[in-house]
Structure 1
Amino acid sequence: MGQIYKIKNIENGMVYIGSAKNAFARFDTHMSQLENGKHYNQELQADFNDLGKDSFEFKIIDEVDERYLRWKELDNIFGYDQLYKIYNVITDKDKIVYAVCRYLSNQGWRFRIDYKVKVKGKRMNINLVTLVNDSLFYFNLRDKRYIDEKSEKNNELKLEHIKHEEKYDGYVRKYLLDMDYNGMPWPVEWKIDQVLDYIKWMENSKLLNGVVVPIHWDEEDLKNAEALEEANVS
């Protein structure tokens, strides 16, 4: 089990929400960084410098399965009743991952997000893995334009690890995000819709003879190579 925790500024009500396998050890790390002026959260550091250690309190919010630590952390951040009083810096990636995981959770699907693994001596971060219609789905939150040879090799290592971990011997669907359109950044809402549309399409499709097809099709629909090719294009 892991814990969701919060560090609260008792002077102004601001909170920092985090997650860890050992929240008490993580809190000690936060305090060490703050006391040495090296904390990555600048706003939290500034308040700590002004008010001192005694103005902050630590509390465990929840205990959860380690697989869902990051998801529950995001759920507590976005579900906080006064989001403007959050120290956490909320990125577009956080918004996308939260929207996707909320959807997956509502569907009752098993998933893992933002967890670190060690593969062949390398420490890597896996953004999101879920199982939909017996197809394993690997979601890499990275702009397609910046996938180079090194990142492709790392992705292959991650996929091998995921398949071994999930005891899965089928085809893994991999998804890369289009971060902009014609050189213009997409609004985060568009990015969220893009990912959710893909996942909803997965809900209504399956892998048959190596081709992704609408879920209501059967093998009679795919007797010949022309049908396979049409399905692949569509």
Structure 2
Amino acid sequence: MKGIYQITNKQNGKKYIGSSTNVFKRWEQHVTDLHYGLHHSHLLQKDWKKYSLNDFTFEVLEYVDDKKDLLKIEQMWIDGEEMPNLYNVLTSTTMHSISAPS
């Protein structure tokens, strides 16, 4: 299922917004990367270490029919949030992230 998803920290309300052609498989990849300390968002990784899996929720924000619309719609969801409330390390889906641990 193609769509836009959100990972939310229930303790502090911070969110990670992403898109995928298979949102549920992408969630599994996030969990794996976070478990092994390999996640590209050092902000999310830091809080994942501080809290636990049970402190995070995963939800699909919107299903998308056409793959070519994923990034545009993801950007609209990101633009609707205040950056300090996001784990996303970049504000634009047109840029690729290279995040370093802090």
TM-score under structure 1 length normalisation:
0.38
Q: 1:6 maps to which residue?
A: 6
Q: 2:73 maps to which residue?
A: 72
Task: Name the one with the larger strand percent.
Answer: 1
Q: 1:50 maps to which residue?
A: 50
Deviations 1:40-98 (A, max 9, x none): 11010010001011110000000112110011111100112x3320110125xx28x5x
Once residues 44 and 55 of structure 1 are traced to their aligned partners in structure 2, the CA distance between those partners, rounded to angstroms, is: 12
RMSD: 1.7
Amino acid aligned to 1:12? N
Q: Percent identity?
A: 35
Amino acid aligned to 2:75? L
Task: Name the one with the larger helix percent.
Answer: 1
Q: 1:34 maps to which residue?
A: 34
Once residues 19 and 25 of structure 1 are traced to their aligned partners in structure 2, the CA distance between those partners, rounded to angstroms, is: 11
Q: 2:99 maps to which residue?
A: none
Map residues 14-25 of structure 1 onto 2, 5 A cutoff. Answer: 14-25=14-25
Map residues 126-165 of structure 1 onto 2, 5 A cutoff. Answer: none
Map residues 90-169 of structure 1 onto 2, 5 A cutoff. Answer: 90-91=90-91, 94=92
Considering Cα pairs closer than 8 Å and 6+ residues apart, tell me whether 1 or 2 has the greater RCO: 2
CA contact (8 A) 2:5 2:61 kept: yes
Deviations 1:133-192 (A, max 9, x none): xxxxxxxxxxxxxxxxxxxxxxxxxxxxxxxxxxxxxxxxxxxxxxxxxxxxxxxxxxxx
1:27 is displaced (CA, Å) by 0.3
TM-score under structure 2 length normalisation:
0.85
Larger Rg: 1
Unmatched 5+ stretches in structure 1: 98-113, 115-234
Once residues 11 and 26 of structure 1 are traced to their aligned partners in structure 2, the CA distance between those partners, rounded to angstroms, is: 22
Once residues 79 and 34 of structure 2 are traced to their aligned partners in structure 1, the CA distance between those partners, rounded to angstroms, is: 25
Q: What is the aligned residue count?
A: 94
Amino acid aligned to 2:31? M
Once residues 90 and 29 of structure 2 are traced to their aligned partners in structure 1, the CA distance between those partners, rounded to angstroms, is: 21
